[in-house]
Amino acid sequence: MLEQAKKVRVMIFDVDGVMTDGRLYYTDAGEELKAFHSLDGHGLKMLQQSGVQLAIITGRTSTLLTHRTKNLGIDLVYQGAHDKLATFEQLLLDTGVTAQECGYMGDDVIDLPIMRRVPFAVAVPNSPTIVRQHAHYITGSQGGSGAVREVCDLIMQSQNTYDAAMAPYLR
């Protein structure tokens, strides 16, 4: 699993169930609310600073997500992706990388077409059984509760960039 993570140049994340706990909250006015974990956000920033490009592919469209990804500095954001595999192929064209240089983290069957094409596929523990069966790594943490951070740290450890990322905090 560390060998597979070592080759990741672009790490792609689903949102609902991965960056969030998967629950959808709506106000009486119809506004959507989501909770993102701050540990995940800092992990994403450190992973990006280590040289790994970040991307989002999600089936839903949300202004809220636009704000979150802007705050994190994630430029490759594909929302409303009902055919995630076609969107993944577009991402490969947009970035000039191959599928063998990508990792993907998802939580449901809509994520399987991408998970089956990358060498580093990650699922959260509450994913359906079939999704976990196609994952190379299953996080110990649930989506929205530090699972993304766990994967960011794992990638940095496998690429020998973790110690450099931690050095400013250990002075």
Instruction: Give the DSSP H/E element, type plus range, for residue 103.
Output: strand 102-106
| Contact in structure between 17 and 40 (CB atoms under 8 Å) | no
Q: Is 94 annotated as a binding residue?
A: no
- 67 burial via Cβ count (<10 Å: 0-12, 13-18, 19+): exposed
Task: Count the residues in the chain.
Answer: 171
Q: What SS3 state is found at 48? A: helix
Q: Is 16 annotated as a binding residue?
A: yes
Q: Which two tokens stand for residue 166?
A: 């931690």
* Long-range contacts of 164-171, Cβ-Cβ distance < 8 Å, separation of 24 or more: 164/50, 165/46, 165/49, 165/50
d(C-alpha 92, C-alpha 107), whole Å: 21
Residue with tokens 């077409």: 113
- Per the annotation, binding residues for substrate are 16
Output the known binding site for Mg(2+). Answer: 14, 107
Known binding-site positions: 14, 16, 107
